[in-house]
Amino acid sequence: MPQNGESGAPADGVRCGADAFEQILLREYGLHSPGLPPMSGCDRLYRPPVKGFTRRERPDRGPSFTAGRSAAAVYHAAKRASRGHEPMQTFRPTAGFLRHSATLPPEHRARHPISGTDRPAGRTARRASTQARRRPELRTLLLIAAVLAAGITGAWAAAPRDPVDIVIEHLLKKQIITAQDAEELRAEIAAARKEQTAAAAKSGAPVTAKTPVKVSGYIQARYQHSEADGFNDGGDIRRARVSLEGTPLPALDWRLQWDLAGSRRAVTGVSAGPPLTTSTANVGRAQLLDAIIGYRLPSGVRLQAGQFKIPFGVENLQSSTRLELINRSPVTESLVPGRDLGAQGRDAGVMVSGASKGAEVEYWLGIFNGAGINTGDDNDRKDIAARLTWKPVKPLHLGAAIYDGATGSARNRHDRTGLELIYQADRWKLQAEYIEGRDGARKKLGWYATAVADIGRGSSAALRYSYLDADRSTASDATACWTVGWTHAISSDGATRFQINYEKNDEQGSDIRNDAVLMQLQTAF
């Protein structure tokens, strides 16, 4: 027996014949012995674990190098150890050894034949080979997986290949099962799928499993100080929103969202002529914001109906949880369709949307009532909104939108045209929008630009300038607003954060003291 890589006599204490095999088995799975020869090349190629043995530490050489060897590999090592001594005529292979031997590659068996009294023959050899090829636990797992997967309607038709076929082909390639076993498995799986489909059809229950409903929401608590006359400093809950959404089918989804805090801001109306009117729609009243049913076609085009945001303006479409500043710009609040009605940029309608293959171009086209949220239409004319965005290069986003509508029983014109730009690179972001439109005979115009810098440690700073002319036919009625803000993300995902803003308002032709300081704490779930 080789000793530490050299040829020589067996190690001390090793006996010949069957006893030598037993001694090596004991030593190599836990007992101290420095004298076993290294594995041959074939032994290294095939190293499945031996059932019932675990890897153990050895004080002289670390983990036993035969831990994880097959029974056949250990047997060959024992034969080499006793080479030149008494033959192993008393050794009889166990059932576990036969199973492992039958799964050895043919080239290994040819290179290391087991002959003489050690060679399994007759019924013993056939039984060992059959046990190695047929594994009940593997068959059971495949059947269970197939039955569960068959519960998803349409999944098999949509997939290019059956997952079970992929698994079976892999097992055939690894010579774990035979071709006959593969055919039997396919037949059993097909029968199981057929039985489940028939049972579901008979009971009237859909084959599709019900998907869970996802619950999410956020709360924004705000404190505001203003120099305006008659304004009482204090805090309130600016937004308290709860959303439910689900996907009952792979291509079908739905979403509901409520604002439990209601709307607490003054809104400039869209009457046909001067003077401008101010209202406080939905003040302090919980309301339904979104009620959406969406369906995605195989081509990727999405259809949706219900009550949702009008596709106009990038700042309007941004979530309130991700705004760089506490408030949206006065331009967005006063000119974006839906927001100028106190409907928070939403309306009831239908919409189709989609994108090019690489998502460089995206489009939205919708038809809406034009009367706001949670109410019926106030005229028989429908409003049309369309938006198109283009990303020519990665950091640049360009977009344009139009809105053609009418308001009130008199069907006064309510039109908007908008342009948008976003440039984001490294830690800087620039966002700008230009909107002009008409409400009746009154023409309006506004624009804003926002610069954001990531200053590290979860904090960012933002500066915005906005300009709004609510009636271009009237001189000295334009307003400008400077806003500077700081945002700090308390949680790593930014869902919980703190913001502080300072707003400086400048009205042309008047000196009104209405600057404000705002602080807001947000958390989401």
Answer yes or no: is pLDDT of 97 > 50.
Answer: yes
Q: What is the pLDDT of residue 59?
A: 40
The 3-state secondary structure of 48-71, one letter per residue: CCCCCCCCCEECCCEECCCCCCCH
Q: What is the pLDDT of residue 18?
A: 40
Of the listed ranges 22-31, 269-278, 464-473, 491-500, the least confidently predicted one is 269-278
Q: What is the pLDDT of residue 383?
A: 95
SS3 435: strand
Answer yes or no: is pLDDT of 77 > 80.
Answer: no
Q: Which tokens go with 79? A: 């034969």
Q: What is the pLDDT of residue 456?
A: 92
Q: What is the pLDDT of residue 134?
A: 47
Q: What is the pLDDT of residue 267?
A: 44
Q: Which tokens go with 97? A: 């050894």
- Residues 221 and 239: their CA atoms lie apart, in Å, by 7
Q: What is the pLDDT of residue 139?
A: 55
Nearest to 484 by CA among 456, 457, 516: 516
Helices (H), 41-162: 41-45, 71-81, 95-102, 106-111, 122-133, 136-149, 155-158
Question: Could you state, in order of their start, the residue ranges of all structural domains in the chain?
Answer: 17-132, 136-203, 214-524
Q: Which residues contact 198 (CB under 8 A, 6 or more apart)?
A: none
Predicted confidence (pLDDT) per residue in 482-510, tens digit: 999 999 999 999 999 999 999 999 887 77
Of the listed ranges 25-29, 79-83, 457-461, the least confidently predicted one is 25-29
Of the listed ranges 330-344, 451-465, 478-492, the least confidently predicted one is 330-344
Q: Which residues contact 159 (CB under 8 A, 6 or more apart)?
A: none
Q: What is the pLDDT of residue 50?
A: 40
SS3 359: coil
Q: In which element (H, E) is residue 524 found?
A: strand 516-524
- Residues 154 and 208: their CA atoms lie apart, in Å, by 9
pLDDT band at 462 (very low <50, low <70, confident <90, very high): very high
Q: What is the pLDDT of residue 341?
A: 78
Q: Which residues contact 93 (CB under 8 A, 6 or more apart)?
A: 75, 101, 114, 118, 120
- Of residues 326 and 182, the one with the higher pLDDT is 326
Q: What percentage of the chain has pLDDT greater than the value 90?
A: 42
- Of residues 171 and 157, the one with the higher pLDDT is 171
pLDDT band at 422 (very low <50, low <70, confident <90, very high): very high
- Residues 26 and 15: their CA atoms lie apart, in Å, by 13
Q: What is the pLDDT of residue 154?
A: 42
- Is the separation of the CB atoms in 200 and 192 below 8 Å? no
What is the residue type of 156?
A: W
Kindly state the DSSP code that residue 341 receives in the 8-state scheme: G
Please provide the average confidence, as pLDDT, over all residues in the chain: 74
Of 74-88, 221-235, 280-294, 476-490, which one has max mean pLDDT?
476-490
Q: What is the pLDDT of residue 273?
A: 38
Which whole number is the average pLDDT over 266-273?
40
- Residues 45 and 19: their CA atoms lie apart, in Å, by 27
Answer yes or no: is pLDDT of 153 > 70.
Answer: no
- Residues 315 and 344: their CA atoms lie apart, in Å, by 12
Instruction: Tell me the whole-structure pTM to 2 decimals.
Output: 0.59
Peptide bond into 248 cis (omega under 30): no
Decide: residue 84, CB within 10 A, 0-12 exposed, 13-18 middle, 19+ buried. Answer: exposed
Angle value at C-alpha 220, between 217 and 221, nearest 5 degrees = 140
Q: Where does 214-524 sit in CATH, by number?
A: 2.40.160.10
| Start-to-end Cα distance in the chain | 68
Which whole number is the average pLDDT over 228-248?
90
- Is the separation of the CB atoms in 365 and 310 below 8 Å? no
Q: What is the pLDDT of residue 490?
A: 96
Of 47-51, 356-360, 498-502, which one has max mean pLDDT?
498-502
Side-chain-facing half-sphere of 335: CA atoms under 13 Å: 33
Side-chain-facing half-sphere of 217: CA atoms under 13 Å: 15
Decide: residue 324, CB within 10 A, 0-12 exposed, 13-18 middle, 19+ buried. Answer: buried
Q: What is the pLDDT of residue 44?
A: 36
Give me the residue label for tokens 């040829």: 7
Residue 385: φ, ψ to 5°: -130, 140
Q: What is the pLDDT of residue 467?
A: 96
pLDDT band at 87 (very low <50, low <70, confident <90, very high): very low
- Of residues 348 and 25, the one with the higher pLDDT is 348
Answer yes or no: is pLDDT of 281 > 60.
Answer: no
Strand pairing class (412-425; 396-407):
antiparallel
- Of residues 384 and 155, the one with the higher pLDDT is 384
